[in-house]
C-alpha cells in the first residue's frame, strides 16, 4: 500500500519569493508521482507528473519538482510566486504500471501575500 | 486538452431526497472513472472506481447502497446519493481516464452537495 505525507499544512510566502512544498511517499512498489492544484470550489488541475526518466520534471505555471528515490520525496518548487498561486496543493501517488487509483496527501495551503 | 464536465456544480436539497451527480468526459472515452469525496479543508478520499460496463469497486467503509454508481457509457458516469442526510453534505469530485495508461486522471470541477 502507498501513503503520502505533505509535511506542511500551510505555507505563507511573500509575492516574488521562492517556495518549496514538501512531499514524501511510502510504497513497496514503484510509483508514479503527481502534483495537483485546487482553487476554491473547483476540481483538481494537474501541475506535473513523474513517470520515469529525468528526476527533475517541469510543469505548468513555472512549477517544477524533483524526484528523489533514496529520500522517497517529490518536493514542488517555484522560484518566484505570484498572488494567483494562492491555492491548495496536493501531492499524489499511483502504483506504477498504470493510472490506477490515486492516493493523495493531506494538502498544503499556499498563501501568497503582497 | 482532456475535459471532464461535472453537473450540477451545486445542489441544495431536503433530507431524505436522492441526488444524482453526472460526470462526463467531453473529448475522450473514459474507460475508468473515479469518485472522490472531500470534506472542508481536507484531502480527497476515494469512494469508488468504476469501469464502463461493469460494477463499481467501492473503497472500504463506503456504503454501496447509499452511493450508487453507474458507468453505462464511455463518456458518462453517475453518482446517486440515496436518501441523503445532512452528514452526506460534502464536495464530491469525479475524475476520468482513458484506455491509454500513460494519460493521467482528469478531474471535474466538483459538486457541492448541501442537505438541509
Query: For residue B45, what is the nearest residue in chain A, using CA coordinates?
Result: A104
Given a contact cutoff of 8 angstroms between Cβ atoms, the answer to whether A74 and A60 are in contact is no
pLDDT at B102: 64
Q: Does the structure show a pLDDT above 90 at A72? A: yes
Q: Is the pLDDT of residue A2 over 60?
A: yes
For chain A, say whether B5 makes contact (Cβ under 8 Å).
no
Locate the chain B residue with the closest alpha carbon to A43. B109
% of chain A at pLDDT higher than 70: 96
Cis check: omega of the bond before B43, within 30 degrees of 0:
no
The shortest C-alpha distance from B46 to chain A (Å) reads: 8
The shortest CB-CB distance from B101 to any of A34, A44, A98 is to A98
In the predicted model, what is the mean pLDDT of residues A68-76?
Answer: 95
Dist. CA B78–CA B75, nearest whole Å:
10
Who among B34, B46, B110 is closest to A41 (CB)? B110
**Site of grid cell 482528469:** B106
Tell whether B15 is within 8 A of chain A (Cβ). no
Confidence of residue A25 (pLDDT cuts 50, 70, 90): very high
% of chain B exceeding 70 in pLDDT: 96
- Evaluate whether B69 touches B90 at the Cβ level (below 8 Å): no
Residue of A nearest to B4 (CA): A43
- The mean predicted confidence, pLDDT, of chain B is 91
Is pLDDT of B28 > 80?
A: yes
CA distances from A91 to A23, A53, A74, B42, B44 (A): 6, 19, 8, 13, 11
List, for residues B62-109, the tens digit of each pLDDT value: 999 999 999 888 899 999 999 999 999 999 999 998 776 566 788 999
Pairing, β A108-113 against β A10-14: parallel
User: Cα dist. A19→A13, A61, A111, A112 in Å?
Assistant: 7, 13, 11, 10
Q: How many CB pairs under 8 A join A and B?
A: 51
Q: Does B60 touch chain A (CB under 8 A)?
A: no
Record: contact A99-B102, CB cut-off 8 A: yes
Judging contacts by C-beta atoms under 8 Å, the chain B residues touching residue A104 are 43-44
Amino acid at each position: 500500500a502507498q501513503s503520502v505525507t505533505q509535511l506542511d499544512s500551510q505555507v505563507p510566502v511573500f509575492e516574488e519569493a521562492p517556495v518549496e512544498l514538501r512531499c514524501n511517499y511510502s510504497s513497496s512498489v514503484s510509483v508514479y508521482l503527481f502534483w495537483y492544484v485546487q482553487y476554491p470550489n473547483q476540481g483538481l488541475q494537474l501541475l506535473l507528473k513523474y513517470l520515469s526518466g529525468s528526476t527533475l520534471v517541469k510543469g505548468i505555471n513555472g512549477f517544477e519538482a524533483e524526484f528523489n528515490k533514496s529520500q522517497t520525496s517529490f518536493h514542488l518548487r517555484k522560484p518566484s510566486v505570484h498572488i494567483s498561486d494562492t491555492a491548495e496543493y496536493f501531492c499524489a501517488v499511483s502504483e506504477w504500471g498504470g493510472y490506477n487509483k490515486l492516493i493523495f496527501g493531506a494538502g498544503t495551503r499556499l498563501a501568497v501575500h503582497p | 486538452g482532456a475535459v471532464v464536465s461535472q453537473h450540477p456544480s451545486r445542489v441544495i436539497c431536503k433530507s431524505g431526497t436522492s441526488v444524482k451527480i453526472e460526470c462526463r468526459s467531453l473529448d475522450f472515452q473514459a474507460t475508468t472513472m473515479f469518485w472522490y469525496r472531500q470534506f472542508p479543508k481536507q484531502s480527497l478520499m476515494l469512494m469508488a472506481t468504476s469501469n464502463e460496463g461493469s460494477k463499481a469497486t467501492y473503497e472500504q467503509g463506503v456504503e454501496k447502497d447509499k452511493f450508487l454508481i453507474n458507468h453505462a457509457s464511455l463518456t458518462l458516469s453517475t453518482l446517486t446519493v440515496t436518501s441523503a442526510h445532512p452528514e452526506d453534505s460534502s464536495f464530491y469530485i469525479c475524475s476520468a481516464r482513458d484506455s491509454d495508461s500513460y494519460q493521467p486522471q482528469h478531474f471535474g470541477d466538483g459538486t457541492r452537495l448541501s442537505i438541509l
